[in-house]
C-alpha cells in the first residue's frame, strides 16, 4: 500500500541557513543537515523486475510515483536529494564536506548514514570517510601556522554491546558519564594517525573487525552500528606565551540497517541481531522525533547505547549531517517511507555547535605558576602592590628633584659670578677712591679688562692664581658689556619692585591675621559656650525633674546660641573668601615673574595645579586685593624714574622686567612707546645685545630669588587656609551637635518614661560602639582618639550622651566626605583627595609616631610577644611600624579592637583614671595649634650678599 507522506515539508521551510548566535561565530545554532541518497536498483531487484517507485523532482525533492494517478503525491523536500546517478563524491561535496571540515576549526561533527538494510549506507559512508580524510589532510597541508594531531578510535555496537574495533580483544566496553565530556567509552583504544595512509590503514582494520553477515537482502550486511571517531587537535604555534588549541571529534557513523523479518528472512543469530538493530534504530527515531519538536521534556537518549554515544551529535555540541539512503524499489516502499519520515523529523533538530578551544596544560601550568608567584609575593609584602604605582611616582619626583638641584647649582654659580664681580668692583673702588657709589665705573671695568696683563708679577701656576684667573675669565664673559652701572640700576629697580610686593603681601597678611584672630577667639568662645550647654544638658538629663519653665528657658537659650553659631559661619565664609583672594593675588604675582615659557615656568605651572586650594578658575577673581601701590593696581602710575631705569633691549618681550611685560600684556599702555624710544637712544645694536644678555642673567637670578619668597608666602597662606577650613568644619560640627543635643533632650525625656532599663542601654551601647568603630575606620580618625574613647567609655549609663555625640559627629563627617565625592575611601580604595588625603596623611604620621615609641614603652619580651602574636615576620625591616600598621585595621573584630586599644594605650601612657575624664570627648575641639609666623621677605640683595 503506497500513500502520500504524512508530514511533507514545504520547500519554503527548508531554509538551511545557520541561525546566527548573538555571541558571535564561536557558538551557533544549526539544524541537522539532512540529505537523501537513492541508490540504483540492485541486481536482485532488477532480476525480480521490481519497479522504481520514487522520482527525484529536483535537487531537493523526491516524490512517490503514484501509479494510480488518482491524486498527486506530495513531495518530500530535504537539503539535498541525490538521484541514483549521483556519485559519492557529489554526495560528499554537497551533503557532508563542510560539516566534516568543521572539525579542523574545533567544532565537533558527525556524519551518519541511516536507512534500511541494503540501501547503500556502508557504500556511501566509505566514500564519505575517504573523501573527508583526503580533504582533511589537504587542509592540514594548507594551514602551516597550526600543528595538527589526528587520533582515531572506532567501536561497534553489536547486540547492544560496545566493542573496540581497533582492539577486539579488549572485550565489551562500558559507557561512562562524564560531567564535562558527556558519555565516554571506557578504555577505548585510540591511535595517533601518523599520516593519511596510516589513517586509512587503521580504518581498514576497523572494517575488517566489524560484524558482517549475509542476509537475504544483503550479502554483506552490517550487523552492527559502527562509529569511527577522528579526534582532530590543532595547536596555534606558540604566541604571546599561550598555546591555544582546537579540539574536535569527527564521527563517521555507519548504522546497521532496519530490516523486516519477513523481507530479510532472518532467523537465529541474524534474527537476534536484527531485533537489536531495529530496537536501537527505533530509539534513535524517537530521539530525533522528540528533538524535532524542540528540546522540551524527556529525550530518551539513555534507551540505547547508540543514542547515548551519539547524544552530543543529536541536539548538542556538534554539526551533524545525516545521509538517508533509500532503495528505489517498489518492493521496499514502506521501508523507504519510514526512512523519509525519519529524515523529515531529523531536519528539524537543532544543534548548538561551538568551537572547542583549549589552552594547553603546559601553558596553563605556566600561567598558574606565574599567578602563584605573584600572589606569594603579595603575601610576603602586602604593601608592595600598592607601592608599585607609588614607586613610579617617586621616580618621577626624583627626576624633578634632580632637575631642581641642577637649577640651584646654576643659580649658585651665577651668584658666585656676581659676588666675584662685586669683590673686584670693591677692590677697584678702593684703588680709584672717589669713584661712583653705584657699582663699578668704566675705569674699574678697564682695570678688570687689563687685569690679566697686569698680573704678570704673580705666579700663574699657584692654585690661588688659577682660581683668580678662572673667575676673571667668567667675569669677562659676564661683563662683556662695558657699563656695569646698568647692573646696579637693575638691582635697585628690582629691589624697589620687591619692596612694593612686600608691602602688598604684608597688608594682605595683616587683614588675614586680624580676621583669623577674631575668628579664633570666636571659635574658642563657641567651644566654651558649647561646653556650658553640654554641662547644662547633662544636668538636665541627670535631674529629669527640672521644672518646665526652666526647660523652656534653656530651650530659648539654645536656639539663640544656634543662631549665633550660624552667624559665625558667615564670618568664616568671608574669611575664606579673603583667603581665596590672597591666593589669587599670589598666583598673579608668581605668574608675573614667569611670563617666559621656560621649562622652569612650566614646572611652576604644574606645581600650581596640584596645590590645594588652587583658585586658578575661581569665580572670585574680581575680589583680588589690590593695594594702591601694587603692581597689579590699575590706578597705579608708572613713574618717570621707572621708565628711565628700564633696561634697553632689542626684544620687546623683555622690555622692562618680566613683571612689566606681563602688565603690558594685561593692560596695553602707552609705555611701549617709551620703551621704543629708549631703545633708539641706546648705543650700537651689538652692545645692546651683550648688555641685554648680562642683564637677563641677573634678572633670572633675581627672579628665582623672588619666586622663592613668593613660594614661601604661598605655603604660609595655604596653611592659614587649612586652619580656616578646620575651624569651619568644627563650627559645623558644633551647630550639628547643638541640634542633636536639643533633639536628644526630648528623646531622653521620652526614654525616661518608656525604657531606661540597663539591659536595653547595654545592647544599644554595643550596637552604637560598633558603628563608631566602623566610622573611625572609614574616616581615618586618630588612633589615640579611638583608644581613649574606647577605653574610657565602657557602657556606663552616663556614657550615653558621649556616645550619641560621637556617633553623630562621625556620621556627619562620613556624609561630608561622601559629599566631597570620597565616600568610604577606606573601602573603595580610590585615591583620596583633599581633606581625606590630609586625614590619611595624619593617620600615617601618627602610626609612625607610635612606632617610634614601641622600643621605649615596651620591653624586649613584650615586643617579641606582640610581633609573634600580630604575625610580624621575625626578619624584616621596620618591625615596629609593621606592628603599629596592623593596629585598628579590622573594625569587625572586637577582639582585635580591644587589643589594639590596649597596645596604643601603652604606647601613649594612657590609663583610665579620673584625670582622663570622659568630658574630653564632649566637645574636645582643640584649637588649631599655633604655627610659626611668616618669616617675611628675604631681600634679593641678601641672597646675593650685596
Ligand X SMILES: Nc1ncnc2c1ncn2[C@@H]1O[C@H](COP(=O)(O)OP(=O)(O)OP(=O)(O)O)[C@@H](O)[C@H]1O
Interaction between residue 847 and ligand X (CB under 6 A): no
Question: How many residues sit close enough to ligand X to count as binding (CB under 6 A)?
Answer: 18
141 annotated as ligand-binding: no
Among 189-197, 217-225, 335-343, 620-628, the segment contacting ligand X (CB under 6 A): 217-225
Minimum separation from the CB atom of position 176 to ligand X (A): 29
- 91 or 922: CB nearest ligand X: 91
Helix, strand, coil abundance in the chain, percent, nearest 5: 60, 10, 30
264/478 with CB nearer ligand X:
264
118 is in an annotated binding site: yes
Looking at 75, 106, 120, 316, which residue binds ligand X (CB under 6 A)?
A: 120
Q: What is the DSSP letter of 797?
A: G
Q: How many CB atoms lie within 10 A of CB 168?
A: 15
Q: Smaller CB distance to ligand X: residue 218 or 320?
A: 218
**Angle at 504 (CA atoms; ends 503, 510), nearest 5 degrees:** 85
The C-alpha cell at 107 is: 567544532
Sign of CA dihedral 502, 504, 509, 511: positive
Of 486, 492, 484, 471, which is closest to residue 440 (Cα–Cα)?
Answer: 484
Cell numbers representing residue 147 in the block: 600543528
Identify the residue among 31, 33, 80, 121 touching ligand X (CB under 6 A). Answer: 121
Identify residues 319-338 at the interface with ligand X (CB under 6 A).
325
CB of 274 to ligand X, least distance (A): 10
**Regarding beta strands 109-115 and 244-254, do their DSSP bridges make them parallel or antiparallel, or are they unpaired?**
parallel
Is 729 an interacting residue with respect to ligand X (CB under 6 A)? no
Taking CB under 6 A as the binding criterion, the range among 110-118, 171-179, 507-515, 641-649 that sits at the site for ligand X is 110-118
Q: How far, in Å, CA of 400 to CA of 386, rounded?
A: 22
Q: Of 112-120, 131-139, 520-528, 846-854, which part binds ligand X (CB under 6 A)?
A: 112-120
Maximum distance among all alpha carbons in the chain?
149
CB of 261 to ligand X, least distance (A): 14
Q: Is the dihedral of CA 909, 913, 917, 918 positive or negative?
A: positive
Nearer to ligand X, 221 or 311 (CB): 221
Q: Closest approach of Cβ 89 to ligand X, in Å?
A: 12
Q: What is d(CA 44, CA 48) in angstroms, rounded to the nearest whole number?
A: 6
Tell me the CB-side half-sphere exposure of residue 341, using CA atoms within 13 A: 17
Q: Which stretch binds ligand X (CB under 6 A): 215-223, 314-322, 376-384, 668-676?
A: 215-223
Q: Which is nearer to ligand X, 46 or 552 (CB)?
A: 46
Smallest distance, Å, CB 123 to ligand X? 3
Q: Which three cell numbers stand for residue 833?
A: 583627595
C-alpha cell at 270: 541474524
Query: CA 873, CA 851: separation in Å to the nearest integer?
Result: 16
Grid coordinates in use for 687? 652692545
Q: How far is the CB of 291 from ligand X (least distance, A)?
A: 23
Shortest distance, CB of residue 222 to ligand X, whole angstroms?
3
Cα 688 from Cα 681, distance rounded (Å): 11
Sort residue 447 into left (φ over 0), alpha (ψ -120 to 50) or beta: alpha
- Tell me which long-range contacts 288-296 makes (C-beta under 8 A, separation of at least 24): 288/314, 288/342, 288/345, 288/346, 288/349, 289/345, 291/315, 291/348, 291/349, 291/350, 292/345, 292/346, 292/347, 292/348, 292/349, 293/348
To the question of whether residue 767 is assigned a binding role by annotation, the answer is: no
Nearest distance from residue 210's CB to ligand X, in Å? 10
Task: Name the one range near ligand X by CB under 6 A: 115-123, 174-182, 187-195, 424-432.
Answer: 115-123
For ligand X, give the closer residue by CB, 117 or 231.
117
936 is in an annotated binding site: no
CB of 326 or CB of 486, closer to ligand X: 326
Q: In angstroms, what is the minimal distance from the CB of 86 to ligand X? A: 8
Q: How far apart are CA 16 and CA 34, in angstroms?
A: 10
In the complex, least distance from residue 37 CB atom to ligand X, rounded to whole angstroms: 7
Q: Going by DSSP bridges, is the β-strand pair 109-115/146-158 parallel, antiparallel, or unpaired?
A: unpaired
Q: Is 439 annotated as a binding residue?
A: no
Number of H helices, E strands in the chain: 29, 20
What is the x/- site pattern for ligand X, positions 123-162, by CB under 6 A? x---------------------------------------
The window from 163-171, 219-227, 477-485, 672-680 that contacts ligand X (CB under 6 A) reads 219-227
Please select the residue that binds ligand X; options are 9, 61, 122, 885, rule is CB under 6 A. Answer: 122
Q: Which is nearer to ligand X, 327 or 704 (CB)?
A: 327
Pairing of strands 33-38, 80-82: parallel
Query: Which residues lie closer than 8 Å to 199 by C-beta, 6 or more apart?
Result: 133, 150, 152, 193, 230
Assigned C-alpha cell, 262: 519477513
220 binds ligand X (CB under 6 A): yes
Pick one of 77, 218, 313, 839: the residue that binds ligand X (CB under 6 A).
Answer: 218
Does residue number 119 form part of the binding site for ligand X (CB under 6 A)?
A: yes
- Residue 122: count of CB within 10 angstroms of its CB: 23
Q: Does 221 bind ligand X (CB under 6 A)?
A: yes
Site string for ligand X, 14-53 (x = CB under 6 A): -------------------------xx-x-----------
Binding flag, residue 115, ligand X (CB under 6 A): yes
Q: Is 926 exposed, middle or buried (0-12, 13-18, 19+ CB in 10 A)?
A: exposed
Minimum separation from the CB atom of position 135 to ligand X (A):
20
CA distance 527 to 524: 5
Asked if 270 interacts with ligand X (CB under 6 A), we say: no
CB atoms < 10 A from the CB of 822, how many? 20
Is 121 annotated as a binding-site member?
Answer: yes
Task: Give min distance, CB of 116 to ligand X, in A.
Answer: 7
Cβ proximity of 50 and 331 under 8 Å: yes
* 656 binds ligand X, rule: CB under 6 A: no
- For residues 40 and 482, which CB has a smaller minimum distance to ligand X in the complex? 40
**Residue from 95, 106, 257, 656 binding ligand X (CB under 6 A):** 257
Q: Is 583 in the site for ligand X (CB under 6 A)?
A: no
* Piece of the chain touching ligand X by CB under 6 A; list 24-32, 114-122, 268-276, 445-453: 114-122
Which grid cell sits at 713?
Answer: 608666602
Residue 256 interacting with ligand X (CB under 6 A): yes
Q: If binding is defined by CB under 6 A, does position 225 make contact with ligand X? A: no
339 contributes a contact to ligand X by CB under 6 A: no
Told to check if 222 binds ligand X by CB under 6 A, we report: yes
Closest by CA position to 409, among listed 704, 607, 713, 706 = 704
Identify which of 552, 107, 82, 459 has the alpha carbon closest to the alpha carbon of residue 316.
107
**Smallest distance, ligand X to C-beta of residue 257, A:** 3
Q: Least distance to ligand X from the beta carbon of 19, Å?
A: 32
DSSP single-letter state for residue 185: E
Rank residues 273 and 504 by Cβ distance to ligand X and give the closer one. 273
Give the footprint of ligand X on this chain (CB under 6 A).
Answer: 39-40, 42, 115, 117-123, 218, 220-222, 256-257, 325
- Point out the annotated binding site: 115-122
- Point out the annotated binding site for ATP: 115-122
Amino acid at each position: 500500500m503506497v500513500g502520500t507522506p504524512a508530514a511533507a515539508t514545504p520547500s519554503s521551510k527548508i531554509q538551511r541557513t545557520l541561525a546566527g548566535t548573538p555571541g558571535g561565530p564561536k557558538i551557533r545554532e544549526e539544524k541537522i543537515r539532512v540529505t537523501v541518497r537513492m541508490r540504483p536498483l540492485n541486481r536482485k531487484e532488477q532480476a525480480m523486475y521490481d519497479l522504481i517507485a520514487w522520482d527525484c523532482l529536483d535537487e531537493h525533492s523526491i516524490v512517490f510515483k503514484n501509479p494510480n494517478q488518482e491524486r498527486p503525491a506530495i513531495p518530500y523536500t530535504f537539503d539535498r536529494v541525490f538521484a541514483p546517478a549521483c556519485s559519492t563524491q557529489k554526495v560528499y561535496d554537497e551533503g557532508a564536506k563542510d560539516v566534516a571540515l568543521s572539525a579542523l576549526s574545533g567544532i565537533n561533527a558527525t556524519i551518519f548514514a541511516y536507512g534500511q538494510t541494503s540501501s547503500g549506507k556502508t557504500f556511501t559512508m566509505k566514500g564519505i570517510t575517504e573523501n573527508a580524510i583526503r580533504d582533511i589532510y589537504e587542509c592540514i597541508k594548507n594551514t602551516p601556522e597550526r600543528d595538527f594531531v589526528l587520533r582515531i578510535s572506532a567501536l561497534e555496537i553489536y547486540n547492544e554491546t560496545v566493542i573496540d574495533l581497533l582492539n577486539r580483544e579488549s572485550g565489551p566496553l562500558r559507557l561512562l558519564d562524564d560531567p564535562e565530556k558527556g558519555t565516554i567509552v571506557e578504555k577505548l583504544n585510540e591511535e595517533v594517525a601518523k599520516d593519511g595512509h596510516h589513517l586509512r590503514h587503521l580504518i581498514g582494520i576497523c572494517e575488517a573487525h566489524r560484524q558482517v553477515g549475509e542476509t537475504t537482502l544483503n550479502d554483506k550486511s552490517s550487523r552492527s552500528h559502527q562509529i569511527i571517531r577522528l579526534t582532530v587537535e590543532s595547536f596555534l604555534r606558540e604566541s604571546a606565551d599561550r598555546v591555544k588549541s582546537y579540539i574536535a571529534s569527527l564521527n563517521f557513523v555507519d548504522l546497521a540497517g532496519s530490516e523486516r523479518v519477513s523481507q530479510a528472512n532472518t532467523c537465529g543469530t541474524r534474527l537476534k541481531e536484527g531485533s537489536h538493530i531495529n530496537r536501537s534504530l527505533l530509539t534513535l527515531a524517537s530521539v530525533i522525533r522528540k528533538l524535532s519538536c524542540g528540546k522540551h521534556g524527556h529525550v530518551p537518549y539513555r534507551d540505547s547505547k547508540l543514542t547515548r554515544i551519539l547524544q552530543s551529535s543529536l541536539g548538542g555540541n556538534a554539526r551533524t549531517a545525516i545521509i538517508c539512503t533509500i532503495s528505489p524499489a517498489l518492493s521496499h516502499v514502506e521501508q523507504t517511507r519510514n526512512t523519509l519520515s525519519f529524515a523529515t523529523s531529523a531536519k528539524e533538530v537543532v544543534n548548538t555547535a561551538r568551537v572547542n578551544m583549549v589552552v594547553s596544560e603546559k601553558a596553563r601550568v605556566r600561567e598558574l605558576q606565574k599567578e602563584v608567584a605573584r600572589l606569594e609575593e603579595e603575601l610576603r609584602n602586602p604593601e608592595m602592590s600598592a607601592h608599585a604605582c607609588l614607586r613610579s611616582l617617586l621616580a618621577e619626583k626624583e627626576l624633578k628633584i634632580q632637575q631642581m638641584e641642577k637649577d640651584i647649582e646654576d643659580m649658585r654659580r651665577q651668584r658666585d659670578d656676581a659676588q666675584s664681580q662685586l669683590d673686584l668692583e670693591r677692590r677697584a673702588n678702593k684703588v680709584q677712591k672717589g669713584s661712583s657709589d653705584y657699582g663699578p665705573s668704566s675705569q674699574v671695568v678697564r682695570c678688570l679688562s687689563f687685569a690679566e696683563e697686569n698680573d704678570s708679577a704673580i705666579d700663574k701656576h699657584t692654585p690661588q692664581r688659577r682660581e683668580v684667573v678662572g673667575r676673571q675669565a667668567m667675569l669677562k664673559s659676564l661683563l662683556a658689556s662695558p657699563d656695569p652701572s646698568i647692573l646696579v640700576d637693575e638691582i635697585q629697580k628690582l629691589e624697589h619692585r620687591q619692596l612694593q610686593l612686600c608691602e602688598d603681601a604684608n597688608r594682605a597678611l595683616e587683614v588675614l591675621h586680624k580676621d583669623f584672630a577674631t575668628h579664633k577667639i570666636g571659635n574658642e568662645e563657641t567651644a566654651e559656650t558649647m561646653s556650658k550647654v553640654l554641662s547644662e544638658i547633662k544636668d538636665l538629663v541627670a535631674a529629669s525633674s527640672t521644672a518646665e519653665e526652666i526647660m523652656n528657658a534653656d530651650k530659648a537659650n539654645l536656639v539663640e546660641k544656634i543662631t549665633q553659631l550660624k552667624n559665625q559661619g558667615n564670618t568664616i565664609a568671608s574669611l575664606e573668601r579673603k583667603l581665596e583672594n590672597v591666593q589669587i593675588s599670589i598666583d598673579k604675582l608668581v605668574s608675573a615673574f614667569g611670563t617666559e615659557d621656560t621649562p622652569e615656568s612650566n614646572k611652576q605651572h604644574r606645581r600650581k595645579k596640584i596645590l590645594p586650594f588652587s583658585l586658578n578658575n575661581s569665580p572670585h577673581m574680581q575680589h583680588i586685593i589690590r593695594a594702591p601701590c601694587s603692581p597689579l593696581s590699575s590706578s597705579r602710575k608708572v613713574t618717570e624714574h621707572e621708565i628711565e631705569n628700564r633696561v634697553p633691549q632689542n626684544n620687546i618681550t623683555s622690555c622692562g622686567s618680566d613683571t612689566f611685560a606681563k602688565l603690558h600684556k594685561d593692560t596695553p599702555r602707552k609705555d611701549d612707546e617709551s620703551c621704543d624710544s629708549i631703545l633708539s637712544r641706546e648705543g650700537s645694536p651689538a652692545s645692546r645685545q651683550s648688555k641685554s644678555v648680562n642683564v637677563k642673567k641677573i634678572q633670572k637670578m633675581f627672579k628665582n630669588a623672588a619666586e622663592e619668597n613668593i613660594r614661601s608666602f604661598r605655603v604660609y597662606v595655604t596653611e592659614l587656609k587649612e586652619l580656616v577650613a578646620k575651624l569651619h568644619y568644627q563650627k559645623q560640627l558644633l551647630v550639628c551637635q547643638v541640634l542633636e543635643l536639643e533633639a536628644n533632650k526630648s528623646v531622653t525625656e521620652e526614654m525616661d518614661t518608656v525604657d531606661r532599663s540597663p539591659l536595653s542601654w547595654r545592647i544599644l551601647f554595643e550596637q552604637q560602639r560598633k558603628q563608631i568603630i566602623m566610622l573611625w575606620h572609614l574616616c581615618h580618625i586618630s588612633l589615640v582618639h579611638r583608644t581613649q574613647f574606647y577605653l574610657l567609655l565602657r557602657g556606663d549609663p552616663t556614657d550615653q550622651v558621649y556616645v550619641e555625640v560621637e556617633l553623630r559627629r562621625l556620621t556627619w563627617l562620613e556624609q561630608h566626605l561622601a559629599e566631597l565625592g570620597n565616600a568610604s575611601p577606606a573601602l573603595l580604595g580610590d585615591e583620596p583627595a583633599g581633606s581625606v588625603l590630609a586625614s590619611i596623611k595624619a593617620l600615617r604620621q601618627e602610626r609612625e609616631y607610635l612606632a617610634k615609641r614601641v622600643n621605649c614603652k615596651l620591653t624586649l619580651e613584650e615586643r617579641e610577644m606582640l610581633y609573634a602574636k600580630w604575625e610580624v615576620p621575625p626578619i624584616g625591616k621596620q618591625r615596629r611600624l609593621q606592628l603599629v600598621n596592623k593596629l585598628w585595621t579590622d573594625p569587625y573584630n572586637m577582639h582585635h579592637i580591644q587589643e589594639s586599644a590596649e597596645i596604643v594605650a601603652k604606647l601613649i601612657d594612657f590609663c583610665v583614671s579620673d584625670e582622663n575624664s570622659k568630658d574630653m570627648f564632649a566637645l574636645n575641639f582643640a584649637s588649631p595649634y599655633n604655627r610659626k609666623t611668616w618669616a617675611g621677605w628675604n631681600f634679593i640683595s641678601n641672597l646675593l650678599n650685596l
